[in-house]
Amino acid sequence: MQDYNGKKVLVRSYDAGVYFGTMEWMNGEQCKLTNVRNIWHWTGASCLSQIANQGVTGDRIGPVVESMVLNRVCQVMPLSEQAIINLEKQPIWTR
């Protein structure tokens, strides 16, 4: 299994959706992220692999949460430097 501890990653959970943040730990299908944001809806990327490489053009990305434990994680990808810069500068979506 790839060790992503301390790295900025994109995570998909069956139950919770898509998030990005810094991986603190992963144990089986559970992981803890810090400085986490939810990507609720996006444009400008056709799939999660493209988001991990390039980022998005925006749309609905939630505010930063200090930490979060996600269950039933089914996909983890490291973020490229380009994607990190892009995702971190996205405005906070609110209703």
Which CATH number does the domain housing residue 84 bear? 2.30.30
Query: 22 in a domain, yes or no?
Result: yes
Structural domain count of the chain: 1
**Residue 38: beta bridge partners?**
19
Q: Return the CA Rg of the chain.
A: 12
Query: 35 in a domain, yes or no?
Result: yes
Query: 3 in a domain, yes or no?
Result: no
Report the distance separating Cα 20 and Cα 89, nearest Å: 13
Query: 17 in a domain, yes or no?
Result: yes
Q: Per residue in 43-67, pLDDT tens?
A: 889 999 999 999 998 779 999 999 9
Type and span of the H or E element at 72:
none
Query: 25 in a domain, yes or no?
Result: yes
Q: Per residue in 4-46, pLDDT tens?
A: 999 999 999 999 999 999 999 999 999 999 999 999 999 889 9
* Structure confidence at residue 3 as a pLDDT band (50, 70, 90): confident
Query: 94 in a domain, yes or no?
Result: no
**Average pLDDT of every residue of the chain:** 94
Report the distance separating Cα 33 and Cα 45, nearest Å: 23
